[in-house]
Chain A
Amino acid sequence: MVEWIVSVLLLIGGAFVLVGSIGLVKMPDFFMRLHGPTKATTLGMACLLTASMVFFSHTQAGLSMKEILISLFLLLTAPISAYMMIKSAIHHKVNSIKRTQGIDNIEDDV
């Protein structure tokens, strides 16, 4: 039973990480590419970590709770790294694809 839960969680997690990476390859410009890794990968990692938690709580004595910390730090750092990348992209005036709306909303750097 536990093996089934772990396998399903691993598969879902792997699928989300894969989708995030596909987004990285498939999207046409930098700003759109950023969406895959910030979201899909976060949930994918959460699934993988839950799988690890279930597996080690089952096979070893006692609960394994360290994974909660890892997911917490991932949730904290993913938006910040995305913010740093999009900020530097705006600073370097990276081109976005033509149909991007509201491009005038970007203000010039000081």
Chain B
Amino acid sequence: MSSDSSLKWLPSPFLSLLLFVVWLLLNNSLSAGHILLAVVLAIVIPLAISPFRTKQPLIAKPGLAFRHLMLVLYDIITANVQVAFLILGPTKRLTPGFVKVPLDLTHSTPITILASTVSLTPGTVSAEVYPWEESLSEGEAPKQQYLLIHVLNLEDETKLITTIKERYEAPLKEIFQC
């Protein structure tokens, strides 16, 4: 669960790949000069900033990560249609609510990704993670963390929690192996 790659000159391969792709997209070209420049940037920038970066968990299963991304994109589209109908329908019938989802994830990066996924999918916006890290004293055993979410139309609390845990949290747990 560390970002240390075996190669010294390539400290974070995913960041390098991202920089390479973003540079080519920004310039909207595939000419040899731009590819060369992108390779140089993709190697130099991660090397230069690696001392400042906090350790991120490495993606252990890229294939599963890609499949999860596709699932989330599909859910975003269906969620949009659902929310559109909820918004256009009668407001009085909506029953909003706050729900606490217990988290199995422990590292902050997967939790951030989970919270963003929850914000983008059906009728839910993530609001807060309990307990705050600052409220824990040094050396204290980590407590069970909760994600507080606001639901636009709360029908079945336990069903919603199991959906979030099985559909979004379990794949993330496997992708990051933590």
Contact = CB atoms under 8 A, between A and B. Distances in A.
B87 interface: yes
Interface string A71-110: 0000110111011001100100000110111110111001
Interface in B55-99: 76-77, 79-80, 83-84, 86-88, 91, 94-99
B87 A75 contact: no
Nearest to B82: A39
**In the complex, which range does the number of interface residues on chain B fall in?**
35 or more
Contacts of A32: 94, 96, 152
Nearest to A26: B91
A31 B26 contact: no
**A contacts with B: majority SS:** helix
Contacts of B115: 79, 83
B126 interface: yes
Given A101-B96, A101-B97, A105-B98, A66 B28 contact: yes
Nearest to A41: B80
A62 B154 CA distance: 48
A15 to B, nearest CB: 8
B22 interface: yes
Given A86-B150, A96-B96, A110-B132, A69 B22 contact: yes
Contact of B119 (A65, A66, A83): A83
Contacts of A42: 76, 80, 120
A52 interface: no
3 tightest A-B contacts by CB?
Answer: A101-B97, A79-B119, A79-B116
Interface of B: 22, 25-26, 28-29, 76-77, 79-80, 83-84, 86-88, 91, 94-100, 115-117, 119-120, 123, 125-128, 130-132, 134-135, 148, 150, 152, 154, 157
Interface of A: 16, 19-20, 22-23, 26-29, 31-32, 34-36, 38-40, 42-43, 62-66, 68-69, 75-76, 78-80, 82-83, 86-87, 90, 96-97, 99-103, 105-107, 110
